[in-house]
Every structure is written in C-alpha cells, then in structure tokens.
Structure 1
Amino acid sequence: MVGGKVEYSLGETKPKIGGDRVSGSAKLTSSFDLVEQMQFLFVRIVRARDLPLKTVNGISDPFVEIKIGNYKATTKYFETKPNLEWNKVFAFTRDRVQGTAMEITVRDKKLAINDNMIGKVTINFSDIPTCLPPDSPLASQWYKLEDKNGINVGRGELMLAIWFGTQADDVFPDAWHSDAAIVSGECLLNTRSKVYLSPRLWYLRVNIIQAQDLVPAGNRNRKPEVYVKAILGDVILRTKVSPDKNVNPKWNEDLMFVVAEPFGDPLILSVEDKLGKNMVECLGRCVIRLSQVDQRLLPVPAAPKWYNLEKIVLEDGRRKELNFFSKLNMRITLDGGYHVFDEYIHYVSDYRPTAKKLWTAMIGVLELGIISASSLQPMKLRDGRETTDAYCVAKYGPKWVKTRTIVDSFAPKWNEQYTWEVYDPFTVLTIGVFDDCHLHGGVVVGGGKDPSIGKVRIRLSTLSTDKIYTYSYPLLVLKPNGLKKMGEIQLAVRFTCSSFLKLFLAYTINPLFPKMHHIYPLSIYHLDSLRQQATRILCLRLSRSEPPLRREVVEYILDGGSQMWSLRKAKANFERLLATLKCFLDAWKWFDEIRRWKNPTVTILVISIYCIAVLKPDLILPTLILYCLQVGICRWRNRPRHPTHIDVKLSLAISTTADELDEEFDTFPSSRQSDVLRMRYDRLRSIAGRVVTVIGDFATKAERFHSLLNWQDPRITAVFLTSCLVGSFLLYYVNLKVFLIVGGFYWMRHPAFGNDILNAPQNFMSRLPTKADYML
C-alpha cells in the first residue's frame, strides 16, 4: 500500500540472480541464471548393513533420523533384515541450519522410545564439501555407527552422501525439503515440483451426408423425422432433423469432437426416429474405432464412405445384432492440420497444428524464473492460526510446470527456473499461484479445492529479445465482495531469439493459424463447444498424474468459464470500443473546427495543404508514410518498458457494484431467489434493448445506401440516377483536380458565405427509405 491506497501496478525489482561462482581462473555459471541461488544441505541416506539388532528374533524395524538444530527428519521403517536400503535424499535450507554439527541416528521402532537407538553418526558442518553443477554427483561412503558417548559400537555401518548444493542439483526436485517438514506420508508427493505435458489433441470431424434404405417401424405411411446422434465418451452431439422426411434422408452436417491420444473410446453413431411424446426409435447404429479413422494433415476433402447400420434387438433375453441393408454415408477424419484450442481465444500459448509434420521451425526460447512471493494473504486455518501453503503453476504450449509447495509461509521463496521452446511470438505465458489444501491426508480444507491466489499473463511479443525482465506482479483476485490484492510475486522472464530471420518470417509470411483454419474455418458455435471439450479432457488427464494437477487449477489457468455472462465485462468491452473509436471522433471534431474557421490561420494552412495534395497527388502517400515515421519516432521515448499485466481500471474491477459482482459469480443455473433474478432479468432486458436499438440504427444507415438503386422510393432512385448521369458528364469534361478544389473550398468556406445546418446530400440521405417499416 502507498498512503493507505492499494497499489495494483507493476514494480521493477533487482534480485540477486545469476548464480556465478569462481573456481581458480575459470568462471562457472549455473544454468539457473534467472533466479536467486539458494544453498541447501543435501543428505542422501543410501543403505545400512550389519546392524547390531537388539531384538531376540533378529527382526527389527530400523529407520534413520536426521537432526539438525530444530529440524528433524526420518526415513521409512521396514520389517526387514539387518541389511536394508532407503536411498532417500533430504534437503535443508542452509540459511535456517543452526548449530555446527548434525546427528544421523539409526533407531529401532520396536524398542522403547528412550532406548531405541542402534547407533549414530555425527558430522561437522566444516567437513561437508560443496558440489555445484557441472560437478558430478558426490559418491556415497560408509560411516561406522557410534553409541551415545561417541564410541564405536563395533558393528553396523551407514552409507551416506552429504554435501552443500543449490536448487540446480539433480536431486533437488525429488528430495524431502525442510520447508515441508510438517507434511508426512504420501502427502509429501504433493509438495514436489513437477513438469506435465498436455496430451496431443485432435479434431474429429464427422460429416453426416445421408442415409439410405432406412426401415422405420410402425405405420408405413408416416413420414419419419430422422436425425443422427453421435456419442464419444461422455460427449453427445446430434444433427438436426432431416428436411427429407423419407427413408433416404439427407443432412450434410458436421459434428465435431476433441479427442486425445491414445485413442480409447469408440465413436458410436445411431440413426433415430422421433415418434412423438418424447419417444424415439433407433433405426440402426454403427461403432467406429478411432484407430481406423484417416488422419487428414492437408486441406484436401476426404472421400465419403458408406457404413452399414446394425440394429440390436432382444431375443430370448439376449442382445442380438441384426444386419440389414440400411447404410449411412459419412466423411470421418481426424484433422491434424488444425490447432486445437485449449485456452481462451485471446490468450493462446501455442498456435501449432496437432500434426508434428506441419510444425514450423523454432524461433527462440522462453525462460521463466519464479523467484518468490511476498505479503500473501492467509488462506486457511491450521491449529487455530492463519496460514498459507503456496505453489505456482505456469503454462506455455503443451508444457505445464508446478513448483514445490512452501508450507506455512506468507513470503515463500521458490527460486525455480523453467524453459520452453517458442514457435510464435504472439503467444501468452500464464502463471497462477494457488494454496495447497491436500497436505494432511484425509484432512482436506477449503472444500477439497486449491483456491487461487492470483494470476499473471505475459505476452511474448511485448518482450525485447535477450533482455531479462525482473518485476513484481500484484496477485489480483476478483471475488463476490470486490477486487482483492492477495500479495505479490517476483518473476524473471527472458525471451531469447535463435534466428531473427525466422522471427521476421513469423511476423510477415507465416500465418498465425494453421492453413486449415483459413480454408475450412470453424464457426463460433463449434469453437465454443470444442474449447469446452478440450478443457474437460485436459482436466481429466492432468488430474490423473502423480501428483495430480487438479481440475480447479487447470480451469483457472485456461480461463474456464470466461464465456459466461458478465455485466462488468460487457461495460469494459464497450468502453474499449469507444476508446478505439475516439481517435476518429477527435479527428472529426478537429475537422469541424477547421471548417468553422475557429482558428483562421490553421484553416488557411489546411486549405493550402489540401490544394497541394489535389494538385500533386503523388505526394500524398509519401507524406503519410513520413508522418507515421515521425509519430513512431516521437513516441519511442514513451514506449512501454515493462511486460503487460492486468489493468484494474480497464477491466472495471474496482468500480463494479456488489450486485453486478454477485451476478457474475452466480452459479449456472442460478441459485438466487426469484425476486433477485427478476430484477437482474429486467436490467438485462433494459441493456439489451439499448443494444438492439443501436444495432437497428446501424442497419438503417446501411439499408439507406442499398435503397439508392432498388427503386423502393422511385423518386429518390430517379433523382440519384439523373445525378449520376450529370455527374459522369461533368467529371468527363471538367478536370478532376478542379472539381476537388472547388468542392473543398465549398466544404471549408467561411461562415460569412453561409454554413448550412443540413446540406443537400445529408438532406437527401436522411430521406432514403429503409426496411424498418417491415419490422413487426
């Protein structure tokens, strides 16, 4: 906050990134150069042998306990032989390590707590080596066990590897971290950083052409009302009822699905007849395996095929398939020449087609350093106190990354770095911060979902190449009670271009979408349906990973539900449109002041420039181009110097009323009372009425131009045609330059010579007929 006011803008930071170290005369640089280097004490417990067991039968439950200051960590224990293996790595943050030595104790779970020590090993911190990449992993070695007094027990050895390292170490992602000391058991897996890959998604296009020789049941004289229903997994689509009400109906309609590799569920098509009273009869069905469907990579129409229909009947209580002569003509293709949208259309992170054969060359590399967060808000209660267990998820292209969870911290430090290949600069990197509610086994807080703490979007085209951007981004969440700042996250971003020629081609020659998007464009209805299918598939696949990337996380990153109605977004988009048109309105106001001679000097200068442009038309384009060049150079000093981020004023997030926010966060279908819904419906009708009026005005103005030649008003059309005849002779005999100069002088004449409120052309256009009279 600044003076009690919440700050929503970006703030430039200067973290100590780089991770360089000097060894002799050589300077070695860590691969993690976009994050702050963190020092960790790594302890690898490999195995034990020849332990001096105290039990009678020689069977015990040995485990290893590591004690460093206030930290205590233990391995699993097994009912096993004296020789056993753990092969587990522990990581302790070096800044929080207290004391001068560490104790590694082997204990037996079957013995009493005060007498369960089998032996221990004491290591002084001064004896621990430092290993940094690109060093090879430190070799493990055997340590002899000692008793409580430091005397060798005579039997028992423990194989260990102990070293100081950084987060660039290979064992870092899978190690037990002291930041998650209160988490135990299988929940430890949820705290680790992981990389996920989205499955390859294909568009399955089913073009239903026609059916042949259907056999409807019942009255033979009845005209069948036939449609085709397609089922793929849990998605059901159907065609319209065929207008041909006979046994050979036609549709020529496309049904589109999103499918993921490997293809599992079959496509089930059934031809159904509407019998009335909500009753239907299946006239035949066919089952198609997707592995048998042709994959189309190029925009070439596929050949239609005839598929035999089968009918399943019950005979003696058993299902029996009947084959008859009914057929269904279809084109079924797996379209790999499209890009399958799994994100909101304005925030796409990958425009490549599904088929790898159609991919263009890589143009660069995107590197992201997730450094830390600060001033995070408490998200839940644990043991009677407020806490937050934060982790980050970043998505670009098919690659998702999840940082480790920092437990019980309002200022977590991740310092993890990730890399993506870039194929198009007009893409968006999305980073979301979440609170982990699945760290204590059966105790799940927060309704079983990981709530969002905020989101950041960075468009790559706004980044300069080979420049490191280090900024602190506010984490903003819009809730039913208004906009709330949940904290800040510090990021470091760098876009490195490997070939400026390929980058130039991406901006000029290479199309943004694959070729099939332009040759066979998808309708808005199809896009919305396919995007929902793709989101559902990704949620299902990623939630089955280990650890899972949960459904609420995937939907939040992909802007799931963004197509729902929001009065706030409607107002914001309308103001965006007005801001875009403002330049044209300002230009018209400026010209109106010119023609009214409010500043005679400027008006005379404009008339002189106009005359030069008419007499020397070859100077118009060079002058405009030079003017654009001048404007661009002048605005270079005020260019944006930081990446894009959410603008709370533009999105009206801080000026929306409580009722509008309550409507935006309402469920679908609505869960509000009838009087609230009636009020909102009336408000929506009022707003929609104004929108309809504006649309009608635009349609009226367009229809007036069409009525010039359609003889709807014979007098106006006759006058217009006569004017065209006279104008053609005038333009033939009178020089065009003279005509333009005279017209310009007349249009910008001094008010002393008369300035009509409504001149003849405007008066003529206002009287043109429209089709508004035809409206009911």
Structure 2
Amino acid sequence: MAKLVVEVLDASNLMPKDGHGSASPFVEVEFDEERRKTSTKHKDLNPFWDEKLVFNIKNPRDLEKKSIDVLVYNDNKEGHKNFLGKVRISGRFVPESEQESMGQRYPLEKRGPFSHVKGDIALKIYSVHGGAAAGGGFEGFEAVEEVLNHVDGNMEDHYSHHHHHHQKHKERERESAPPPLKEINTDKFDDEFFYKGSHDKIKKKKSKEKEVRTFYSVGTGGGGLPPPPPERPVFEKRADFAKAGGAPAATVMQMQFPGQKPEYSVVETRPPLAARMGYWGRDKTASTYDLVEQMNFLYISVVKAKDLPVMDISGSLDPYVEVKVGNYKGVTKHLEKNQHPVWNAVFAFSKERLQSNLIEVTVKDKDFGKDDFVGKVGFDVAEVPLRVPPDSPLAPQWYKLANKKGEKHPDHGEIMLAVWMGTQADEAFPEAWHSDAHSLSQQSLASTRSKVYFSPKLYYLRVHIMAAQDLVPSDRGRMPDPYVKVQHGHQIRATRPSAMKHINPEWNEELMFVASEPFDEYIFISVEDKVGPGKDENIGMIMIPVRDVQQRNETSKLPEPRWYALQKPSKAEEDGEKKKEVKFASRILLRICIDAAYHVLDESTHFSSDLQPSSKHLRKPSIGMLEVGILSARNLLPMKGKDNRLTDAYCVAKYGNKWVRTRTLLDTLHPRWNEQYTWEVHDPCTVITIGVFDNCHVNGKDDARDQRIGKVRIRLSTLETDRIYTHSYPLLVLAPSGLRKHGELHLALRFTCTAWVNMMAQYSRPLLPKMHYVQPISVRHIDWLRHQAMQIVSARLIRAEPPLRREVVEYMLDVDYHMFSLRRSKANFFRIMSLLSGISYVCRWFDGICYWKNPLTTILVHVLFLILVCYPELILPTIFLYLFVIGLWNYRLRSRVPPHMDARLSQAENTHPDELDEEFDTFPTSRPSDLVRMRYDRLKSVAGRVQTVIGDLATQGERALSILGWRDPRATAIFIIFSLIWAVFLYVTPFQVVAVLIGLYILRHPRFRSKMPSIPVNFFKRLPARSDSLL
C-alpha cells in the first residue's frame, strides 16, 4: 500500500500562548480523515521534532485532489489546546519519492481574522509507492503494526517479539546501509497499544500509571552522507512497571541515537535562596549574601606558636602544623630554625564532607627522615562556635600543646588558634586552604583561589605631528624623503611621507594610541629618511615621558603645539672616536595630549559593559547595582579525560572594569561555587559576560592553556528591576568539529535601581561620551585602538597573582569577533530577513485586503479609511493609540527569560564542517592552497549573488533619478506634462476627494482589476539606468 510521509522537522518564532512568554507546541497533521500528532515540546518557541508521521494512501490517483493540513497547537495541560498556526499543502505538490523531496519552510497562516499567528514550520513531505517502501526505511512501521496486532499476548512476549524483529531489521540495515533511526511519538500508536487489546492487566496498568508511555523508533530516509549504524539498544529495568500492578516487571527497550541534538534553551529554576525566603527564613547574611545557597565550612586559623621545644642537635627546630579532620589533612609551610613561628594560615573543611567529629592540630618538626612529633591540640566539632558575618572575626586563643598521650606540659610550648563554623560569606573564605584541594602543592594552590581583578584605567593618547625644521640627512647631496614613526609601548604607527622632499617637511597628521595608568612609559618619536626600497635611515629622535603629557578633560581647545629638539642617534665608530658635538639640532613641531573625555573601547561595541569616559570628573553617578550569584554548574564534559581526570572548573565574570574569578573546584562535573559578587551600574544598556573555564595549571604546568567550557552574556536592559532571576544557561562552544554543549551554568541575578529618574533619562542620552561625537575617531582607527586596548588589559591581568590568563581574557573580550565567518554572515542575513518578514507580512495583509480575500476585513478597512479621510486630524492620534494598545497587549506575552546565546539564530546547528574550519583558520591562512582556492571560489559565488542584488537596487535608484534627467527625453516629457496636469487637478479639487478616489481605486474589487502590470509600473521599468554603461 502506498504511504504518505510527513516529516515534521522544526518550527521557529512561534507566538507565546502560556501567559509567561513561551508555549508548549505540538503538531497535528490531518490527511484523508486520519490524524497524527507529534510529541509536545515544553516551554520552547523554537521547537525541534524531526519526527515522521505516516498515513495510508487509499487511492494514489486521488492524491492530487486532496490536501494535507498541518496545525500547530499549544498544550496548556488542562485538556485544551491553543491555536498557533496552520499550513495547508495540496497533494499535487507531493513528490513521489524521498530523493525528490526537500525540507521546506512554510509560514504559519491564521485560522480567522482575529487569530494572532507568527513563525514558520519546516516540513518534508513525500509519498512511497509499492515496493519502494522496502528501501525507504518502512520496516520499522511494519514492525510497529505487527506488534500492535499481537498486543493481546504476554508483555514479555510482546517486547521479545519486537526486539527479535528489531534484530532482523538491524541485519538488513548492515547490508543496505540505511539512514539513521528517528523517534516517533503519536497519540494513535499510544492509544492502540494500551486500548486495542482486552488484557485486564494492561488496562489496570494504564489506569494507574498514565504518565508511562512507550515510544517506538522508526526509520527515516534522511539525505546527506550515510551516517554510522545505530548503536546497540540499551535495555533497562523500569521499576514503575512493576509498581503499577501485578504484572511482572517488563524490560523496556530504549534506543540511543548518536548525533541527537541537545537542548539549548534556558531553564528557570527555584533554588532555596535567602532572598526568596520570608522574614523568618533569613539569617544575618541575607542582606549581603542572599543570592546563593548557604554552604557551611569548618574554619581553623593557625596563627603562630611560641616556646616550642628544641628538637634538633643544632638547638632549634623546623616547625610546621598539620590540621587533620577525618581523612582530610592540611599542612602549613615549615619555617627553618624558629621556636616562635608565625604562619597565619586558614584551613576550611566543607561541613558536608566531614568524616569525623574530632579536629586534630599537630605541630611537627621537619626532618630528613620521619618528621618528629612536637605537640598537639584536639577539638570536638560539636563544641565549635558558629560565627556568621557581620559578626566581628573570632579572636584566636593560646592553647597548650599536649603529648601523644594527651598530657599537657609547659615545656611543649603553646599555639594560637581560632576554630569556628562559618559560611562562604566569611572573610577568610577566599584565602583559605580548602579540603577539596588537599592533593595540591602550595605553589599550585594559589591558582585555585577566588580573586577580584580590575582592568587598568585606559586613555587615548593623541600625537599630532605637524612639521619639522632643519633636517640633516646622511647624504647632504640629496633632499630627504622623511616620515615620522611613533612608538608607545608595543604600539607603533607611522605617518605618510611628506608631500614634498625638503629639509623643512610638513605632515599635519594625527596618530592615536592607548595609554594606561600609572603612565610609566615613554613616547619614542623618530624621523626616518627613505633612502631606498626597504632601507630607512634615522635622522633624529626624541623620547617624551607620558606622565609629562597634558590631560584634556573637556571638549575645549587643544593644547598649543611645541617645538622639540631632535637628538642624533648615537653611532659607535670602529676606531673608538668620540662623538662630535652638534652645533645645532633639528626640530619637530608636535601637539601631544591625553584625551580623558573619551571612553576607551576594549570590547566589542555590541556587548560593551562600560561606556563611561576615562576621566573620573566626567563620570556620572551610578543608577543601580547588579548582584550576581554564581551557584553551580552541572553535566560538564570531562575536559581532562586523557589524564583519567574530570574537570577543574572555575568561573570568570566581567562587567565594567571589574573582573571576578571564583575558586577552582577540582575533579568534578557538578561544581557548586555559591559565590556572590556586586557591580555598580552606570548604564542599563550594557552586558555582563560570565565564562566557565577548565583550570590547566593545578599541576604546575605553566605552559598549558586553560580550556574554555562556555560563556553566557546577559544584557541588563532586559532585566526587570528588583526581580531575582534564577536560570540554568547552556554552555555552548563552537569548535571546528561543530557546536557542542559543554554543560549548564546556574546563575542568580538581581538588578536593583537606586536612581529611577536618572535611569529613565539614560535612554535619551547618547551611548558614548560627548567627545565621541564632537571629535569622532574613524572606524578603522577605532578597530586598531580596540585591539591595542585588549592587549594592554590582557598583559596587565596576566601579571596578577593568581594570573588571569591571556586566553581567558581574549575569550571574555571576544578578540576574534571581527574576523570573517561565513556562518556569522548567514546569521546576519537571516536576521535582516527576519526584520523584513514583518514588512512582508504587512504587504501580504494589504494585498489580501485589496483582493478581497476576506470581505469583512476589507469592508472594515474601507470604513476606517473614509473616517480618517473625513477627519484627518484623527490620523496621528489613531496611529499612536494603536501603538499603545499593541504594546500593552504584548506586555502579557513578554518573555520572562533573559535572552541567551541562540544556537539557531547563530546558524551553528547545521553549519558545514568546512565553513567551521574556515572560521577557525588563522590569519593569514595556514590551510593548503587547494582548499584556499575552493573557499575563494565559494566566496566569489556568494559575492556574485550579493553583487547582483546590489546592482538591482542601484538600477531602481538610477531609474528614479532619471525621471527628470532627460536621459530619455520622451519619458521625461511625459512625466512633466503629467505632473502639470496633476498640479492643476489637485489645485482645483479638495484633498479629501482626491484621497477618497485614490483609496477606493487601490482597494477596488478584483473584478475591476487586470492581471497585467499597472501603467506606473510599466513606465518606471522603461526608464533608463546606468547598467548599460558598465563594462
């Protein structure tokens, strides 16, 4: 029998329907009085199904006369469904084989005039006739039908029969290499399975355990390269089958398919945060540490010791302290020959992992062989006091050391300790030794601690090179060809050669650099003479300290230029002669200043986190506060699988000039940081970036690079004030092998506004400081200066302790964001198409009105049009009232989830591997010439299509300009005569009459329309353009 296959691939940009800015869509397909539906994707406006729905075609000859209705609904879990859109496809357009079929996107249509629908759906439809089904992967359907017919038997027999048939299917797959299996979930299969038979046990099980469903996997005929054969099915015992009734526990076959796309959506969570608890649920830290889950630690502070006994022949000892709680043991540094040592070390043991109620603090003497015992102190964990900030720190106390038997003696000495039970809000938490890092050395321990960093304060340095006088070239018989080279740190720039070869040249060029506090560098300015190709000679140079340069804080007048004397470069003569004294010096005219009124861009403008000027005198007061709780991560990939270890994860958050780094949690795929940080906010239209990395320096490898796990960007303007956002964000990383999900990051955010009026006034102010608009810097210079600023920031942060590595800073600042990417170009193209889709929808709606597709709507538009023509003063109020109502209506449909990195919007899910390899290629390229030639040809084809579109746009514009240009004298004569007639007609005719006539003509019934193009269109297309003048 012939089959009709409808593959429901995915949908995008659906209309929210659940009142929380989302929807739970499913698709229902109806054909020839049969209905099938897909599974429901909860809380997803861009669902991905990739499911096959199969229908029987009773008479293939009647397929052309029938239609396929695809309806998208929202499942509201109350037995009702909301309409999201529909598509009707005629049977005459159904291909007769899977090879002829291609996946196509269909815009969703309305069901009635008052439906609110948007988005589109991707479908692949084809039919299979007769024996062709054998090669199309329909054995799975036959297996399902066979199982459904034998459902009255025993459950174990049913599953063993299905498994046996599946094994036969796998043997046929190995021979014919079919496409991969996909998953189908239809209500019809489910209902037939549970209700077709008359077995009482099955009915009893269905009534008790309604949520248990069995989904059968069927074959698909996907295109492209043949994938690897599916893995061996995984069998697992389902305990819920045994609990449901008296039937024995059944074995359910769950097929794991390689290459299934993971979920990339943001998930809202409800962690037990103090900020969400009531008054009675809060503790003392609720006001400052309320966005994280409380973690309890046992703190032991080892301060110092005194009067320790002599243990060596030399008359002293090398003491150190060993703190032991259960199997966890922390050790301080040993101090050589010191009977009164001072350690000031703090140890933190997680309360969740305490394995003993006894705390042992032992003082030992470092020796070549076995270390000698000096004395010890013991504590009971139950007797340790609780200390929570803002309480003052616990005062340490002196304790007498006891021997191994527990006997205390004055000759054993004393040790000063403080022991308390605290949380991660304690001041000692960042610098403490943690029990989960017990295997690390003291040197590696520093790279695991949490720290706060600040970027250096950056300024633009302006060097205006005006002219020079009395240059003396090495060859006095020719005129010099000079140019000026300026170097500041690692930044080197040069002017163009002077327009005239002369000893008194003029340049009048401005060069911009990036300078950073504390201005401890110099500006090197040298005048070079181009002697020949690739050969330059230094005529003179000068060195100016940056600290002596005048700062310019306002848009006031530039400082006056100054003449600087050039110094001749020192030359060491072979015969050791002394340098001859120069009777006069060449001079150069410079204007140098530090522009503090600009904001130095060190990150991409699209997601900048700071827009304040460099000068603190010009900065505006803060408008609010951003609090971020970095809670945890889960399902991380093992980044150190080659070393038989998991992942040593830490987080880095950057907003403004403040960077924070959490502590590194070792060898875990589910780290729990629970650290909270705060930033001042000066502008809501900024972005905070939070990245997760794998620490590759915990084993002392200085040459290793920390691996990126993923990052999250959140725009503050999308957050509601005083609302706590707790979500789990996917960590997506794009690699040459494709898009990978490395885990999920759990965050809590709260944006608090402290100056409401100032925050609202920010929306009327320009993004950047005033100087950027009064004296703008060119785009090509801005890109170069941004790169230099990134280099300065990374060079400064790498010198901190522990260092923030260069690869971390570059990933957080998106250093390579400006590089060419065909994937990103496609994403931007589809973004433009998405914007134009609204205009296209309005055009289609107006076209439907003009052609009377819905007579009621067209009549209403006629009435509204006549009212506005008769009362034109209502036009603007009507437009703005309409905008107000639409905005108010969309308020209830607003998204409640902060925007995140969208894999589909980024065109990262189905990118070709070669495009990814090109994106991650170095600059300049390091790929073979054949591959580069192929990519060049591909780029030429893409550029050719863009060139054609630009040419068409230019043609239309030139035709419009040529109307009055007399390039076509007859066309121009016709137009000006027509314009004169219209001028007289409009002068003697009231405006309302003209508007009514034009409006009624445009909205006329299709009976009065011609299928030929209109006269104005014909006239415009005949106008000349300059395309015929191109070579």
TM-score interval, smaller chain = over 0.9
User: 5 Å matches for 1:338-737?
Assistant: 338-381=598-641, 384-441=643-700, 443-444=701-702, 448-508=704-764, 510-737=765-992
DSSP 3-state at the match of 1:635:
helix
SS at match of 1:434: strand
Corresponding residue number in structure 1 for 2:329: 72
In structure 2, the residue corresponding to 1:386 is in which secondary structure? coil
Find the aligned partners of 1:749 and 1:22 in 2 and give their Cα distance. Answer: 65
Cα distance in 1, alignment partners of residues 279 and 324 from structure 2: 32
Given that residues 274 and 281 in structure 2 are in contact (C-alpha distance below 8 angstroms), is that contact kept between their aligned partners in structure 1? no
User: What letter is aligned with 1:614?
Assistant: V
Provide the C-alpha distance between the structure 1 equivalents of 2:670 and 2:1019, rounded to a whole number of angstroms: 70
User: 1:634 Cα shift?
Assistant: 1.7
What's the CA shift string for 1:24-43, capped at 9, x where partnerless?
A: 99963442111111111000
CA gap 1:497/1:190 in 2 versus in 1, 3 angstroms: same
> CA, structure 1 residues 573+755, in 2 after alignment: closer, same or farther (shift >3 Å)?
same
Q: Which amino acid aligns with 1:180?
A: A
Structure 2 CA distance for aligned equivalents of residues 218 and 161 of structure 1: 79
Matched with 2:457 is 200
Shift of residue 284, structure 1, vs aligned partner: 3.8
Shift of the 690–273 alpha-carbon distance from structure 1 to 2, 3 Å rule, reads farther
| CA displacement at 1:507 relative to structure 2 | 1.8
Correspondences of 1:85-96 after superposition (within 5 Å): 85-96=342-353
Length-normalised TM-score, structure 1: 0.94
1:37 equivalent to 2:294? Answer: yes
Opposite residue 624 of structure 2, the aligned amino acid is G
2:1013 maps to which of 747, 755, 758: 758
Q: Is the 8 A contact 2:293 2:674 kept in 1?
A: yes
| Residues 244 and 518 of structure 1: CA distance in aligned 2, closer, same or farther (over 3 Å) | same
- Is the CA contact (8 Å cut-off) linking 1:119 and 1:153 kept in structure 2? no
Q: 1:299-355: CA deviations, max 9, x gaps?
A: 234145143352525566267785757544443221111111111111100110111
Equivalent residue runs for 1:266-281 within 5 Å? 266-281=522-537
- Map Cα deviations across residues 408-434 of structure 1 (whole Å, 9 max, x no partner): 111111111100000000011110011
Specify whether residues 327 and 582 from structure 1 end up closer, same or farther in structure 2 by C-alpha distance, changes over 3 A only. Answer: farther
Cα pair distance change 1:27/1:54, threshold 3 Å = closer
Is contact 2:688–2:713 with CA below 8 Å preserved after alignment?
yes
Residues 99-119 of structure 1, C-alpha deviations (whole Å, 9 max, x = no match): 121111111112742x71111
| Alpha-carbon distance, 1:221 to partner | 7.0
2:366 — aligned with what? Answer: 109
Query: How many percent identity over aligned positions?
Result: 50
What SS is found at the alignment partner of 1:236?
A: strand
Q: TM-score, with normalisation over the residues of structure 2?
A: 0.71
Determine whether 1:238 maps to 2:491.
no
Structure 2 gap ranges (5+): 1-40, 43-255
The number of aligned residues is 769
| Distance change (3 Å), C-alpha of 1:335 and 1:658 | same
Which whole-Å CA distance do the structure 2 matches of 1:753 and 1:625 have between them?
34
Q: For each residue in 1:185-242, what CA deviation from the matched residue of structure 2 results, as whole angstroms up to 9, or x when unmatched?
A: 22211111111111110111223344455555658676x6543322111111123344
Give deviations 1:564-613, integer Å, cap 9, x for gaps: 11110000000001001111111112222222233333323323322222
Amino acid at match of 1:563: H
Contact 1:19 1:36 in 2 (8 A): no
Q: Distance in 2 between matches of 1:111 and 1:212?
A: 74
- Report the Cα distance in structure 1 between the residues aligned to 2:869 and 2:1022, rounded to whole angstroms: 32
CA contact (8 A) 2:460 2:596 kept: yes
- Residue 285 of structure 2 contacts residue 388 of structure 2 at CA under 8 Å; is this kept in 1? no
What pairs up with 1:215-234 in 2 under 5 angstroms? 215=472, 218=475, 225-234=481-490
Contact 2:538–2:569, Cα closer than 8 Å, also in 1:
no
In 2: Cα distance, 1:109 partner to 1:487 partner: 45
Residues 419-464 of structure 1: CA deviation (Å, up to 9, x unaligned): 00000000111100111111122x45xx611011110111110111
Distance 1:328 1:374 in 2: 62
After superposing the two structures, state which structure 1 stretch, 205-214 or 654-663, moved more.
Answer: 205-214
Q: How far did residue 283 of structure 1 move?
A: 4.1
Q: What do the CA deviations read for 1:333-389 (whole angstroms, capped 9, x no partner)?
A: 21111111111111100110111111112100000111111111111158x512211
CA RMSD of aligned residues (A): 2.6
Give the distance between the partners of 1:330 and 1:708, measured in 2 at CA.
53
Q: CA deviation at 1:653?
A: 1.1
Q: Which residue of 2 aligns with 1:133?
A: 389
List per-residue Cα deviations over 1:18-63 (Å, max 9, x = no partner).
2899999996344211111111100011111222333233221111
Q: Could you tell me which residue of structure 2 aligns to residue 177 of structure 1?
A: 434
Residue 310, structure 1, aligned to residue 566, structure 2: yes
Q: Check the 8 A contact 1:463/1:643 in 2, yes or no.
A: yes
Deviations along 1:127-171, one digit per CA (max 9) or x if unpaired, are: 211111121111111111122222224422111111101111111
Match of 2:541, SS state, is strand
* Stretch moving more, 37-46 or 635-644: 635-644
Displacement of 1:666 in angstroms is: 1.2
8 Å CA contact 1:208–1:331 kept in 2: the answer is yes
Question: In 2, Cα distance between the equivalents of 1:274 and 1:111?
Answer: 68
Secondary structure of 2:606's match?
coil
Counterparts of 2:617 and 2:891, CA distance in 1: 40
Distance 1:247 1:200 in 2: 40
Of the structure 1 ranges 663-672 and 696-705, higher mean CA displacement relative to structure 2 is found in 696-705
Return closer, same or farther for 1:27/1:201 CA change in 2, 3 Å cut-off: closer
Residue identity in the other structure for 2:648: D
Decide whether aligned partners of structure 1 residues 594 and 287 sit closer, same or farther in structure 2, where only a CA change above 3 A counts. same
In the aligned structure 1, how far is the partner of 2:615 from the partner of 2:929? 50
Tell me how far 1:725 sits from its aligned partner.
3.2
Secondary structure at the counterpart of residue 414 of structure 2: strand
294, 306, 310: which one aligns with 1:49: 306
Task: Give the letter for the 1:387 counterpart.
Answer: L
**Does the residue aligned with 1:646 lie in a helix, a strand or coil?**
coil
**Aligned residue for 2:17?**
none
Find the residue that maps to 2:422 and give its secondary structure: strand
1:101 and 1:617, CA in 2 relative to 1: closer, same or farther beyond 3 A?
Answer: same
